[in-house]
Amino acid sequence: MSVLLTGARVVSIPMRVRFRGILHREALLIPGPAGWGEFSPFPEYGDAEAAPWLAAALEAAGEGYPKPVRTSVPVNGTVPAVAVDRVEGVLARFGAVGAVKVKVAERGQSVAEDLARVAEVRRLLPNAGIRVDANGGWDVPTAVAALGALAEAGLEYAEQPVPDIAGLREVRQELARRDIPVLIAADESVRKETDPLRVAREDAADLIVVKVAPLGGVRRALEIVAAAGLPAVVSSALDTSVGIRAGVALAASLPELPYACGLGTLSLMAGDVAEEPLLPDGGALAVRNVAVSGELLECYAAAPERRQWWLDRLERVYGQLMRGDRTA
């Protein structure tokens, strides 16, 4: 544990736009023999929920990643819950992409605002795949009505329209009954469940969204995808290039990759820790290692009190992880 505390670096990187209510993204980075690992569970997460994130960071730093089966992975752009007049500027930062994820169901916003945002993406990118992400923000009737309207834009899928597995199943069944052609993707119902395979067993989703850190590492995520037997979309958790590298490793190791991955979120941040940030080129991310810059670690170093907060958290969560008390 002392080695982790000594080598750990804590950064705070400003966001270009508010995302999940966040204006600065904090992360603790851990060096190891295989490279760097990122430990960045959101501040509101308890220690048990944060434990898999530390397992993933330790895997990256200590073991590295499985051998890839592809040299690059396609990625989507991401449009936060911004006003319509900001959509074009957000998309411009992603360059050429074949798919876009649009945030919907933001607290304090209406379905009409969601429809307008999606319509603007469709106007700007008439041939792109569009998927929406509600982060569980709707109830079942609202989700069915909203997705019925949003289907006019031609959605690839809707990610976590309602918060729980029973609700996902109900939304999926009702969309089918009404002949609304929108697939349902489970995100929180995979990464926040003590049993990440329950959503597949209960026939509550058409595909799953997998993130390396909440599932405990690349190897654990590969096991979950294989056991679920559903198509998978690899996504990030608003990571630095270190965390994005783990997502790329997962996407590059999956036998099949039918959808563009949500791994282009570094474009939403106004800085990074890598000399060459892991940014998309031509709608794809290369499978490559990341060189962390000491100068950038200093540039984005968190304030002393925040650094101590993260070190205290690291020590607690490490103890939790060693006791085997984690959520995934």
- Annotated binding-site residues for Mg(2+) read 133, 159, 187
Of 239, 187, 238, 243, the closest CA to residue 19 belongs to 238
103 in catalytic set: yes
The crossing angle, in degrees rounded to 10, of helices 241-253 and 218-228 is: 40
Active-site entry in 67, 101, 103, 192: 103
Active-site annotation holder among 67, 101, 192, 211: 211
- Residue 303 amino acid letter: A
Number of H helices, E strands in the chain: 13, 12
Instruction: Identify any residues that bridge with 285 across adjacent strands, giving them in sequence order.
Output: 73
Where is 156: in which H helix or E strand? Answer: strand 155-159
Q: Do β-strands 9-19 and 284-286 pair in parallel, antiparallel, or remain unpaired?
A: unpaired
Secondary structure letter of residue 21 according to DSSP: T
- Catalytic, 192? Answer no
Q: Which residue ranges make up the annotated binding site?
A: 133, 159, 187
| CA dist 113 → 83, 119, 133, 204, 291 (Å) | 8, 10, 14, 27, 40
**Strand, coil or helix: what is 284?**
strand
Catalytic residues, which ones?
103, 211
